[in-house]
Amino acid sequence: MSNPLDPHAAIVTEAAGLDQGGMLRTADGQPLAKALARSSRRARRRAFFLVLPLLAFVLLTFVLPIGQMLMRSVKNDGFSAYMPQLSAWFEANPDVTEPDDAAWAALAADLEASAKDRTIGIVGTRINYEIPGTRSLFTSAGRKARGGIEPPYREAMLDMDEEWGDPKLWGVMRQASDPYTANFYLAAMDRTRDEAGNIVLAPEEQRIYLHLFLRTFWLSLIITGTTFLLGFPIAHLLATLPMRQSNLLMILVLLPFWTSLLVRTTAWMVLLQQQGVVNDVFVWLGLIGDGQRLQMIYNQTGTIIAMTHILLPFMILPLYSVMRTINPSYVRAARSLGATSWTAFRRIYFPQTLPGLGAGALLVFILAVGYYITPALVGGSSGQLISNLIAMHMTQTLNWSMAAALAAMLLGGVLILYWVYDRLVGIDNLKLG
C-alpha cells in the first residue's frame, strides 16, 4: 500500500491477461477490446431498434421539414422553371449584358407560354422580390402576350412598357435564371446587388433586418436578465422553504403554464394599457397626473414585461432543480469558517447555482429570440422581433425564401451563441433538472 493510512488509496492492479505487447487478451487469446465490442453489439442493436420509431418520427417531422425550409432560402425556381428559353439564353451567354434579338425572342416566347399556363404571376412574384413593383409589369405583359407577340420582339416589348429595357431588370432576371441564389441571405443582411452584380448596402429606407436582428438579441438579453433577477430569489425560496409552503409556491410558479398564452398576454394588455389597471393605480396614488399616463404597452416595454412574465418559469425551474441539490451545509460551513452571509452567498452559494443559471439563461434566451405571439400582440411597432417579420413573410408577402433565410440566420446566431456558451461555461455544466 502506498499510503498505509488510507486503505482507499491502494489500487489493486490486475496484471493477469497482459501479453508482451501490453495488449489485454481474453482467456482464449482474443483481443479484449474486440471481445468486448462483440459482447455489447447485441445490446446495442436492441437499443437501436427501441429508438428507431422515435428516430423516424424526428426525421419525418423535424429534420425533413426544416431541411426543406432551409433549402428554400437558397433555392427559388419561380423564374427559371417558367421562363425556360430565356434561362437557357442567360446560361448560353454568360458575359453578354446587353440582350440581343435571340434574348428578346426568348423573353417573348416564354411570356406567351407562361401567360397561357397562368404561371406568369409566379414569375412576376419572383422578380418582384428583387425589384419591388415589377410584378404588374409581368402580369400586364402576360395579358398582352396571350394574343401573340409579333417580331421584332425588342420593339414589341418596349412598346408594351419602357421598363423592359431597364438593364437592372435584365440583371435581376439573369440572377433569377439560376434557381440557386444567395440573394435572400443578402437581403436578410440588408445587402443587395447593383447592376454590375456587386454586393452593396441596400438603400437606407430598405434596411430593416439587421436592425431587427440586433433588437431581437438585445431584447432577449434584457428579458434573460430580468427573468434572472426575478427568478433567482423565487427559486431560492422554493428550494429552501418547508415542503408545504414550497409546494404552494411551486403551483403559483407553474400556474402560468396551465393558462393559455393568449390569455396571459391579453391580461397584460388589460393591466398595462393607458386606461389600464396599473396606470389607474399610479394616477390614484398621485404618482402621475391623469394627462401623463404611461405608455407601457404596444412598445418595447410591453414586450419586455409580458415576455419576462411568460418566460420566468423557464428560468426558475432549472435554477430550482440545481438549488435543491445544494446542501445547506455548504453555506453553514462558509459561515462557520468566518464568512459573512454576503460572502458566503457570493463565494459559495452563487457559484454552485451556475449550472442552473446557465441552463435557465440559455433556455430563456433561445425561447425569447424566436418568440412570436407576444411581441405581435403587445409589441406595437417598436417591440416587434425578427420572428414577427418571418411570420409576415410566411403569411402576407408569401416570400418563403426570405422567411427561410431570416430563420436560418436566426438559427445560425443561436448556434453561435450556444458555441460561445460552451466555450465560456461548458455545456457539461448545464443542468436542466
d(CA 287, CA 280): 10
Considering beta carbons, is residue 8 or 118 the nearer one to another protein? 8
Which residue from 233, 332, 382, 420 is in contact with another protein, where contact means CB under 8 A?
Answer: 332
Q: Does 336 bind another protein (CB under 8 A)?
A: yes
361 contacts 228 by C-beta, under 8 angstroms? yes
Out of 33, 64, 333, 427, name the contact with another protein by CB under 8 A. 333
277-285, 312-320, 322-330, 379-387 -> range binding another protein (CB under 8 A): 322-330
State the minimum distance, in angstroms, from the CB of residue 344 to another protein.
8
Q: How many CB atoms lie within 10 A of CB 226?
A: 19
Q: Which is nearer to another protein, 285 or 424 (CB)?
A: 424
> Considering only 80-88, 106-114, 147-155, 344-352, which stretch makes contact with another protein by CB under 8 A?
344-352
Size of site (CB under 8 A) for another protein:
25
Task: Considering the complex, state which of residue 206 and residue 340 has its C-beta at the smaller distance from another protein.
Answer: 340
CB of 126 to another protein, least distance (A): 57
Q: How far apart are alpha carbons 6 and 2 in whole angstroms?
A: 9
Strand partners, 24: 18
Measure the CA–CA gap between 17 and 131, rounded to whole angstroms. 76
- Paired with 25 in beta bridges are 31
Q: Cell match 458575359: residue?
A: 95
**Does residue 426 touch another protein according to CB under 8 A?**
no
**Binding flag, residue 346, another protein (CB under 8 A):** no
Q: Is the CB of 126 or the CB of 431 nearer to another protein?
A: 431
339 belongs to the binding site for another protein (CB under 8 A): yes
In 3D space, the residue among 170, 162, 161 whose CA is nearest the CA of residue 142 turns out to be 161
Whole-angstrom distance, CA of residue 220 vs CA of residue 402: 22
When binding is defined by CB under 8 A, the residue of 40, 68, 259, 343 that contacts another protein is: 343
Exactly one of 62, 347, 416, 420 binds another protein (CB under 8 A); which one? 347
CB closer to another protein out of 240 and 295? 240
Nearer to another protein, 4 or 203 (CB): 4
Rg for the chain, CA atoms, rounded: 32
Helices (H) and strands (E) in the chain, counts: 20, 2
Footprint of another protein on 31-50 (CB under 8 A): none
For position 24 contacting another protein by CB under 8 A, the verdict is no
Q: What is the largest CA-CA distance in the chain?
A: 105
Angstrom distances, CA of residue 178 to CA of 84, 87, 129, 130, 402: 11, 8, 15, 14, 16
Closest approach of Cβ 417 to another protein, in Å?
Answer: 24
Give 97 or 341: the residue with its C-beta nearer to another protein. Answer: 341
Q: Which residue number, 260 or 329, has a Cβ lying nearer to another protein?
A: 329
How wide is the angle at C-alpha 349 spanned by C-alphas 343 and 355, nearest 5°?
140
Distance CA 238, CA 224 (A): 20
Parallel/antiparallel/unpaired status of strands 191-193 and 199-201 = antiparallel
Segment contacting another protein (CB under 8 A): 13-21, 124-132, 209-217, 345-353?
Answer: 345-353
List residues binding another protein (CB under 8 A): 3, 5-9, 327, 329-330, 332-341, 343-344, 347-348, 351-352
